[in-house]
Amino acid sequence: MDNKPFVFLAAADRDFMHRIKAALHGSVNLNVFDDGEACRQALAAHGPQALILDTRLTGGYDLHRAIRDDFDTGDIYQLLLCTPDEAARDDLVADDFLPGPVSDGVVLGKIRLLLQTLEQRRRGGEQMAYAQKVAMTAMSSMGELGVVMNFMSKSFSCRSIQSVGELALQSLAQYELDCIIYFSWEGEHSIARSGGQEVSPEDREHILQLRPLGRLLELNGQMIVNFEHTSILVRQMPEDVEQCGRLRDNIAMLCDGVEARVTGLLMEHDNVLKQQGIRYAVCEIRDSVANLHARQLDYLKTGRDMIGQVTDDFEDAFVHLALMPEAENQLISQLVNLRQRLTDLWSQPGEVEARLQSVVHALEVLAGDVGASR
């Protein structure tokens, strides 16, 4: 690459021009003019970094002011060869002056300083261009990363795997890429393509072949990112190496976010099924224990009724046995005492009944909480 500065030399003295041209040979790309108008026309075709202008040239002043006052040419470095009186004039505003007459050595010294200035400008321009490129790259990276962050924030509102896939494809569309997203979970499968395009059987088979080949694979301009439940296939990556690298990282992060949300949804679904099973079991146990408690109460009541009936039957039987009054009274007294003792015993809540009541109450509370959370 030719980094030599491009310089115009416009002067009236042809011998001077030849000497300067010979002295600058090889160090600059030099165009020489002996007419101000010809120099001005050449500026329109190819603007130089610097102009060495002899004010004695016909049209020199007009050329100087035209270059200085034009926005497109105002940054051209001007070195004016002039008299001391001209250098003091207010209407001459140049980057540097060389009041004459002076020797060629002094002129060449000034020109060497000019070349150093141009080299510094060139390096500064390169640094500025590099800084602008870095800034643009950083801005592009931030924008591309912002797509991933925006997906992450919105993905929590997705309540199904299909909606996660739709949001991911909408995000990838901002990269202007043709993508296919594939999901696999618990024997189920789902596949979709950006822009709502139909997924061909060949694309589906292609993804199934690439899924076992690693986390990230690039092949023939395509890229696939694989996780346990998720794969994202990019049909054609950009040719620009830097952009391709940034997108590779961002798509991998986005796919990681998709996988995390899908895993979360599957866990939520599993927890719902477990909760439903627990609710069913609690309600069944509650009903069974309540039924057992009711039957226990029925058995106690039936037992009391049976003892009362037996006691009455014995009393009636004693009347017909013609027992001695003392013996009959004694037997009846014992029966009455037995019935009273049994009545007192059954009227007290036993340990089994108390535990049944406690279990029924606890299950009623838990079943109520479960019902409220449905």
Res 319: pLDDT: 65
CA–CA distance, 75 with 94 (Å, rounded to integer): 10
pLDDT for the residue 227? 93
CA 293 – CA 362 distance, rounded (Å)? 14
Sign of torsion over alpha carbons 53, 59, 65, 69: negative
CA distance 171 to 299: 70
Q: In which residue are the tokens 């340990």 written? A: 351
| Kind and range of the H or E run holding 232 | strand 230-234
The half-sphere exposure of 272 on its side-chain side, counting CA atoms within 13 A, is 7
Model pLDDT, residue 353: 63
Specify the long-range contacts of residues 290-296, CB closer than 8 Å, at least 24 apart.
290/360, 290/363, 292/356, 293/353, 293/356, 293/357, 293/360, 296/352, 296/353, 296/356
Write out the chain's pLDDT in tens, 374 residues: 567 888 899 888 888 888 888 888 888 888 899 888 888 888 878 888 898 888 888 888 888 888 888 888 888 999 888 888 887 888 788 888 888 777 878 888 888 888 888 888 888 777 776 666 555 554 445 567 778 888 888 888 888 889 999 999 988 888 888 999 999 988 888 999 988 888 899 989 999 999 999 999 988 888 999 999 999 999 888 888 888 888 888 889 899 999 998 998 888 887 777 777 777 777 777 777 777 767 777 777 777 777 777 777 776 776 666 667 777 677 777 777 777 776 666 665 556 666 666 776 776 666 665 544 44
Instruction: Tell me phi and psi for residue 100, to 5 degrees.
Output: -115, 180
In the block, which residue shows the tokens 């146990």? Answer: 285
∠ Cα 283 284 290 (to 5°): 90
**Spatial CA neighbour of 63 closest among 93, 94, 39, 88:** 39
CB proximity list for 14: less than 8 A, separation 6 or greater: 34
Residue 78 Cα distances to 93, 96, 216, angstroms? 9, 7, 57
**Of 55, 254, 20, 261, residue with least CA distance to 162:** 261
The span from the CA of 95 to the CA of 114, in Å, is 10
- pTM greater than 0.85 (yes/no): no
- Quick one: tokens of 111? 């020109």
pLDDT of residue 232: 94
CB 278 within 8 Å of CB 371: no
Backbone angles phi, psi at 19, to 5 degrees: -65, -45
pLDDT at residue number 138? 47
- Angle between helix 241-320 and 325-347 (nearest 10): 170
Residue 225 is predicted with a pLDDT of 94
| Residue 140: per-residue pLDDT | 47
Q: Where do we find the tokens 């165009």?
A: 31
